[in-house]
């Protein structure tokens, strides 16, 4: 397959992916700066990595991590950077410390509880995923309900979606803005294909899934279960260390499921 450089550079001026306001566009860091191990990466189309079964030696290099030029200053700096990202960064750092303890040989239980402010973390995750495609404005009922939630801090998390999370002790990053999950299991017969977005970076993965009409249910912790608490309320959410999804789930098809992509998802890893 011909080597193509993956692009995350939207036009300098245009509509914001989230609020739609027209003006100067800024670079959204995905994951945000301050999360563990955010540094120079090489970016590739996830399609090529899945088809080839290996990572190309060359690729566009991104200093200080993946950046999408798709957001206005208010959505990027004021909402994500100031209001929401600090809680995602704190959560990622806390989880990273647990992983460091594991590597040192410290015995840990099958799961633990980790304190976080879910309303802020949920908005951070949703905002970065909405940003993660060039010239891809929010459209359709599902997108627009998530945008309304992101913009209005008084709202509970919308019933149209669920946000799952799990431990991700791997170095490769995956960002998926538009995809659809189709299960091949007999137990899922009669269920509707499920739209999803996905963000995977050390040490966490987040999966935002459609929850509107007899969609698949995923046996993973659900952060949006806490989506009705107040903006600044902390909860103790479970973090499991065992029976985790494999490294390439859900993006890589298997004998149990297939994935249909509606855009060009990103794969990134640190240069060797």
Q: Residue 167 is inside which H or E element, if any?
A: strand 161-167
CA atoms in the 13 A half-sphere facing the CB of 56: 23
Burial class (CB in 10 A: 0-12, 13-18, 19+), 8: buried
Tokens of 40: 């120079």
Q: What is each CA distance from 210 to 19, 101, 207, in whole angstroms?
A: 21, 35, 10
- The stretches of the chain forming alpha helices (DSSP H) are 46-52, 73, 85-103, 118-131, 140-151
Q: What is the mean pLDDT of residues 17-41?
A: 94
Taking the C-alpha atoms of residue 218 and residue 190, their distance in angstroms, rounded to an integer, is 16
Over the stretch 184-220, which tens digit does the pLDDT of each residue have? 999 888 888 999 999 999 999 999 999 998 888 899 9
Taking the C-alpha atoms of residue 143 and residue 152, their distance in angstroms, rounded to an integer, is 14
**Other CB atoms within 10 A of residue 248 CB:** 16
The whole-model pTM stands at 0.94
Question: Under a CB-based contact definition with an 8 Å cutoff, are residues 246 and 186 in contact?
Answer: no
Does pLDDT of 272 surpass 80?
Answer: no
Over the stretch 78-129, which tens digit does the pLDDT of each residue have? 999 999 999 999 999 999 988 887 777 776 678 899 999 999 999 999 999 9
More confident residue, 249 or 48: 249
Question: Under a CB-based contact definition with an 8 Å cutoff, are residues 20 and 190 in contact?
Answer: no
């Amino acid at each position: 397959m011909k080597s193509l450089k993956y692009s995350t550079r939207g036009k300098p001026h245009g509509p914001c992916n989230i609020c739609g306001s027209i003006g100067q566009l800024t670079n959204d860091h995905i994951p945000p700066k301050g999360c563990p191990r955010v540094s120079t990466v090489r970016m590739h189309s996830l399609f090529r990595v899945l088809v080839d079964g290996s990572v190309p030696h060359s690729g566009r290099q991104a200093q200080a991590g993946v950046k999408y030029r798709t957001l206005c200053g208010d959505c990027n700096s004021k909402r994500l950077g100031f209001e929401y990202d600090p809680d995602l960064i704190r959560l990622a750092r806390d989880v990273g410390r647990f992983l460091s303890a594991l590597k040192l040989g410290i015995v840990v239980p099958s799961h633990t509880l980790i304190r976080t402010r879910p309303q802020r973390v949920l908005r951070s995750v949703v905002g970065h995923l909405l940003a993660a495609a060039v010239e891809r404005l929010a459209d359709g009922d599902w997108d627009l309900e998530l945008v309304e939630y992101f913009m209005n801090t008084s709202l509970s998390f919308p019933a149209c979606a669920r946000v799952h999370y799990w431990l991700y002790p791997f170095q490769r990053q995956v960002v998926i803005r538009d995809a659809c999950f189709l299960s091949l299991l007999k137990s899922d017969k009669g269920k509707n294909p499920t739209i999803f977005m996905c963000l995977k970076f050390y040490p966490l993965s987040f999966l935002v899934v459609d929850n509107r009409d007899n969609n698949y249910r995923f046996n993973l912790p659900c952060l949006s279960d806490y989506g009705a608490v107040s903006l600044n309320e902390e909860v103790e959410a479970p973090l499991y260390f065992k029976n985790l999804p494999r490294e390439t789930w859900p993006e890589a098809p298997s004998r149990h499921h297939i994935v249909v992509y509606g855009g060009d998802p990103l794969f990134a890893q640190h240069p060797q």
